[in-house]
Amino acid sequence: MYASLKLREKVERAIAYLSAKNPGLGGHVAKYSVKVGAREGGYAYFDYRDGSVVVSKEWLYKLDHKGLGELLAHEALHGVLGHWIYLKERKVSHPLLWNLACDIEVNSILEELGLFSNLYSSMIKLTGSEPVTWRRFRFIGVGPKEPAELIYEKLLNSINNNELRLVIENQRGEREAHGRGERSYYDFTVVVSDVVDSVSNEERRVYPKEKLWHGSKDVEEEFKKSYEYFKNTKDPTKLKDKVVEQAVELAVSLRRAGNLPGGLERFVAPSKPQVQWALLLRSALKKGTIKSVRSWQVPNRRGLEGVPGYLRTGNNLWLLVDTSASITDEELSTFLAEVVAISKLGKVNLVTWDVEPNLVVTAASRSRLLNYVKKSVKGGGGTLSRPALEFVYKKMRRGDVVVVLTDGYWFDETEVTDVMRKIKKYSSAAVLVTVGTVPEDAREAGWTVIRIKRA
């Protein structure tokens, strides 16, 4: 018991160290649970079955809190970047080489964030080998800001063309030689991660392992859903990319903090929305907004006696704007510009939300809305749609219009169909505008769906 408490304290200090050095990355790493590995030896890996980081007891005891913190960041980034997905989708022919490419990408990001030196020295002491970086392979064209997919192709082509020879050793001591070229590089040991077949039969039998750190339940459930999907589907290429979207959330939070590494820039490229999406939205809203009806309450404009005038009536518009960390600044600006344009159709109730709703009654100008949203955004993190949807359902009147502007990456997807059906039935128009995926709930509830293509 005392030993477990000591290890828990070290993990807590490791995450505190990360959060102090880089709050954006530290907060993201804290979402993943940390477990003690079951088998003997020194190793660490990302467990894609529940989104946890597993570290062997040997390494937990030998690492100081700084080295452990950077190790946790390394493994968590494998999960954030979805490296395990390519293996499950059978997109790589050489798993060990893919593992090497993933480590190069992750270590480049950590190096740029200033969170690699302790990991580097720790791995040399623990394994006798240096963690792999892009510099070792720059003679074959590998750069510091490249994704694992591109690095993998360069490594594979170089080996196939006999330009490179590697001897790779995984965490089980299995060694493989690759290539017969004149350039010989030995002992390229994959010392940090074990993305390939990371869960041994021994650990499957004793799962779940002891938790030293409890991460976010939402993150854990999301990975469990993805794992079950892969396990049961006949076509693994149809993975929902909700897990990978965590990379967008992390990139946005780091960019807001002013320290976005080049390796993550591709996740926050400016979006180029379709020109016609706004027209589609206005068309969908026409039947539910301003109407003109004949009424004796107002005089006829032409002064005709015995003829009623026209009375313009309208319903309230409820606009739910997703402000979670996965929404880029460009997308948020696009959403708010459309909110201002829509406000001409009637009274707008703006609801900004991530894990909980906030309300702005008026939409006077785009600049005022932007200022409000920047002040009201909370923490980044995941996206829960039910609190915001239930809030609107309780506040709206029959015949009101409801529009949700989002990227569709909801932790509670498939769990809000009931409330979306209620809103659809109670409203005159229910529309979902998405820059990402389309939640199953929206289609099942019969909402009108409009997609904006991300760049």
DSSP secondary structure of 131-172: PP-GGGGGGGT--TT--HHHHHHHHHHHHHTTS--EEEE-TT
Q: Looking at residue 287, what is its pLDDT? A: 54
- 277-451 has CATH 3.40.50.410 classification: yes
Tokens found for residue 398: 């029959």
Angstrom distances, CA of residue 211 to CA of 155, 381, 455: 36, 22, 39
In the structure encoding, which two tokens stand for residue 269, read together? 């490229």
Give the pLDDT of residue 13.
92
Whether the pLDDT of residue 381 is over 60: the answer is no
For the chain, the domains span 2-265, 277-451
270, pLDDT greater than 80: no
pLDDT above 80 (res 368): no
- Give the pLDDT band of residue 292 (cuts 50, 70, 90): very low
For residues 283 and 84, which has the higher predicted lDDT (pLDDT)?
84
Assigned token pair, 340: 């201002």
**Residues 358-397 as b or e (16 or more Cβ within 10 Å = b):** bebeebeeeeebbebbeeebeebbbbbbbebbebbbeebe
pLDDT given for residue 155 in this prediction: 84
pLDDT grade for 271, boundaries at 50, 70 and 90: very low
Cite the DSSP H helix spans in 181-294: 201-206, 217-232, 246-256, 277-285
Statement: residue 274 has pLDDT above 50? no
Least reliable range by pLDDT among 45-54, 91-100, 365-374: 365-374
Q: 431 - beta bridge partners? A: 403, 448
User: Which residue would you say has higher pLDDT here, 170 or 343?
Assistant: 343
* Mean pLDDT, the chain, whole residue set: 76
- Please give the average per-residue pLDDT across 275-288, as a whole number: 64
Contact between 138 and 145 under an 8 Å Cβ cutoff? The reply is no
**What is the reported pLDDT for 121?**
92
Residue 417 binned pLDDT confidence (cut-offs 50, 70, 90): very high
Alpha-helical regions (H) of 345-411: 366-376, 386-395
Percent of the chain exceeding pLDDT 90 equals 17
Task: For 180, list phi and psi in degrees, rounded to 5.
Answer: -130, 25
Q: Give the Cα separation of 258 and 389 in Å (integer).
A: 33
- Please determine, for residue 276, whether its predicted confidence score (pLDDT) is greater than 50: yes
Task: Specify the pairing of strand 317-322 against strand 401-406.
Answer: parallel
Does pLDDT of 138 surpass 90? no
pLDDT of the residue at 189:
46
Compute the distance between CA of residue 274 and CA of residue 451 in angstroms, rounded to an integer: 9
CA 326 vs CA 105, 316, 332: distances in Å: 21, 28, 10
Q: Name the range with the highest mean pLDDT among 123-132, 256-265, 389-398.
A: 389-398
- Mean pLDDT confidence for 286-312: 50
pLDDT score at 125: 87
Farthest-apart Cα atoms in the chain, separation = 101
**Which pLDDT score is estimated for 370?**
61
**pLDDT at residue 15, as a whole number:** 92
Lowest mean pLDDT among 133-147, 189-203, 250-264, 364-378: 189-203
DSSP 185: B
pLDDT of residue 110: 93
Handedness of CA 83, 88, 90, 95 (dihedral sign): positive
Whole-number pLDDT of residue 221 = 82
pLDDT surpassing 90 at residue 438: no
**Cα angle, residue 101 at apex, residues 270 and 260 outer, rounded to 5°:** 35
Chain segment 8-23, per-residue pLDDT in tens: 899 999 999 998 998 8
pLDDT digits (tens, 9 = 90+) for 228-249: 777 776 665 555 555 666 777 7
326 vs 381: CA distance, rounded Å: 8
Q: Which of 183, 195, 176, 178 is nearest to 81 (CA)?
A: 195
